[in-house]
Amino acid sequence: MILVRHGQSTWNREHRIQGQLDPPLSDEGRRQAELLGRRLAGRRLTGFYASDLKRAFETAQAIGAVIGLDPEPIPGLREIYLGEWEGLRTVEIAERFPEAWARWSEEPDWDVVPGGEGAARFETRVMGALDAIRDSHAHGDVLVVTHGGVIQVALHRVVGRPSHGLFPFKIQNASISVIEHGDGRMVVAGSNDVGHLEPELVTEPGPG
């Protein structure tokens, strides 16, 4: 399973919390998506899926234009819903929700986000979507274009830990991570590969 984080969105560039809000790719993000397509060109895929949020689906469509495949939208691959924090910058969150932000700053946990989806529901949704994809493709490579939080959940699952909002893996825009399935076990074969990007297009992780 090849897990790709979407290219930079306009809100990644502005450092806004996205969650399930739907900003499009920035100009940089569209270039990142084109380079992803070139990196993946020639790879034989048995499946191609994407979150239906614009920033992920636009990335997938740009990849598809290069590799000659159309992505299938999967709502279960959306980023976590972040309730009252969506659309805000971190400084605005700290001002409007000082207690929740203090708890988050001490130990990140999706459950402290006011009105949010919460860790358990998010992880159950993501694992259900990824399991359904895996069960549909017993063999071969599957490409999944999604979000940073979703990829964190997938990688945490392999190492046997719940995510809850912790981010020990760096997952940058337009990065590639790989999970291998075989003999009843899963292995992280690579994470946060941005070798296909031009240096000026390598961006730090941002919300969503």
b/e 56-94 (16+ beta carbons within 10 angstroms → b): bbbbbbbbbebbeeebeebebbbbbbbbebbebeeeebe
Per annotation, catalytic residue among 6, 147, 156, 164: 6
- Among this protein's residues, is 79 annotated catalytic? yes
In the chain, which ranges are E strands?
A: 2-5, 45-50, 72-73, 141-146, 176-182, 185-193
Distance CA 32, CA 77 (A): 20
d(CA 94, CA 15): 14
Determine the pLDDT at residue 206: 65
pTM score, whole prediction: 0.95
Instruction: State in words which class domain 2-201 has.
Output: alpha beta
User: 154-175: buried (b, 16+ CB within 10 Å) or exposed (e) per residue?
Assistant: bbbbeeeeebbbeeebebbbbb
Secondary structure (3-state) at 39: helix
Q: How would you write the pLDDT of the chain (208 residues) with one tens digit per residue?
A: 999 999 999 999 999 999 999 999 999 999 999 999 999 998 999 999 999 999 999 999 999 999 999 999 999 999 999 999 999 999 999 999 999 999 999 988 999 999 999 999 999 999 999 999 999 998 999 999 999 999 999 999 998 887 777 678 999 999 999 999 987 789 999 999 999 999 999 987 666 7
Active site residue: 79, 86, 117, 123, which one? 79
Cβ 159 vs Cβ 189: under 8 Å: no
Residue 79 pairs with which residues in a beta bridge? none
